[in-house]
Structure 1
Amino acid sequence: MEPHFRLVCIGCGQRYNPDEMVYTCRRCGDLLTVDYDWSRLEDGEEIRRVWARRPRLSVWRYRELLPVLNEDNIISLGEGGTNLYDCRRLGAAFGLRELQVKNEGENPTGSFKDRGMTVGVSRALELGARGVICASTGNTSASLAAYSARAGLHCLVVVPAGKIALGKLAQAMMYGAKVVAVNGNFDDALSLVMDACTKLGLYLLNSVNAYR
């Protein structure tokens, strides 16, 4: 299938093909973003009808807008479609006519990170990664561990020693991730991960990855 998206550097405009495992621009070092060819979408009204016919309310209901080439590679745990709750008393306290709160804790691992991780791990599978890696102090570790387990990929989580939410650490370990604690802060852990992903042949799934 012809790709409907490319990676583009936000700094210099350098473009990269979807089959390249790249996280930052090789020319200038800046971050990348996903650039879509919207002209390939069906007519606006027709695509809305397609989405409306899909019964499950999740991020993949709108899969035409997401960077996956083959639907067989989609790794999902039912993320998205979280509920909105009316907060009348709180709204009144702030002088608001209406206030609604969206509870992202209803996502599979209890975090909004699942919305991006479903796409990131799906891309990892599509790119032929043998494993995934991240640095984390909490939600990212649990989310990546869960989705990589669903995909059957090895998962390595690097955490700053003593600086991770214990509940999330327990989640990551229960999902089967290998967790390594290092001295320093999150930035130190991320620096190590950025170096290790290439040397170990693992797919990086911190937010520096444009697909996540």
Structure 2
Amino acid sequence: MNPERLAPSSEEQPYRAAFRAFGGGDANRYSLYDIIYRSPVTGSLLEVEHDLAALQQRSAADWRSLIDSRVGTTQWPYGSGVWGMREWVVPDLRDENVVSMYEGNTNLFWAQRLGRQLGVEDLWIKLCGNSHTGSFK
């Protein structure tokens, strides 16, 4: 896969993210476009590391406002509960390469009887299994 064909230039998108190994021993950063699950150096699992300095250029209130403005919209691809936060998911993926069925934003269900059994008066649960995509579980 050629990441240059998937991602806009840094002038178009200032946010970056990469995989890095848990636990040290591997200072490398790996592209989010690589199909890789473990560090080739240490064998440890990977996590996504965001460019926090770039993300912090926008205030928390501005991020909240931006993300809230995308919830439930039909503007591609931001109506998705996942891609509505794209800068925090895969920040440099071009819109035309996003695959989405507007996943995310699944409802919370009031679990009154289960709550009573557990001694929790107002228990709500997230049921992701009823998502039309079956993803992000």
TM more than 0.5:
yes
Unaligned segments of structure 2, at least 5 residues: 1-8, 74-78
Q: Which residue of 1 aligns with 2:81?
A: 58
Number of the residue aligned with 1:48 = 64
CA distance in 2, matches of 1:28, 1:57: 35
Q: How far did residue 65 of structure 1 move?
A: 0.5
When the two chains are superposed, the root-mean-square deviation of aligned CA atoms in Å is: 2.1
Stretches of structure 1 lacking an aligned partner (at least 5 in a row): 117-212
Q: Which residue number in structure 2 is paired with residue 15 of structure 1?
A: 28
Change (3 A) 1:93 1:29: closer
Does 1:84 pair with 2:108?
A: yes
Aligned length: 113
Q: Deviations over 1:153-208 (max 9, x none)?
A: xxxxxxxxxxxxxxxxxxxxxxxxxxxxxxxxxxxxxxxxxxxxxxxxxxxxxxxx
Matches for 1:1-212 after TM superposition, within 5 Å = 1-2=9-10, 4-11=16-23, 12-18=25-31, 20-41=34-55, 42-54=58-70, 55=73, 56=79, 58-69=81-92, 70-109=94-133, 111=134, 114-115=135-136
Contact 1:58 1:81 (C-alpha < 8 Å) held by counterparts: yes
Could you say which residue in structure 2 is the equivalent of 1:187? none
CA contact (8 A) 1:14 1:25 kept: no
For residues 40 and 88 of structure 1, the distance between their equivalents in structure 2, rounded to whole angstroms, comes to 43
TM-score scaled by structure 2? 0.70
Instruction: Tell me: CA distance 1:57–1:6, structure 2 relative to 1, closer, same or farther (3 Å).
Output: closer
Q: Which has the higher strand share?
A: 1
Q: TM-score, normalised by structure 1?
A: 0.48
Find the aligned partners of 2:65 and 2:130 in 1 and give their Cα distance: 27
Partners in 1 of 2:123 and 2:105 — Cα distance?
18
More helix by share: 1
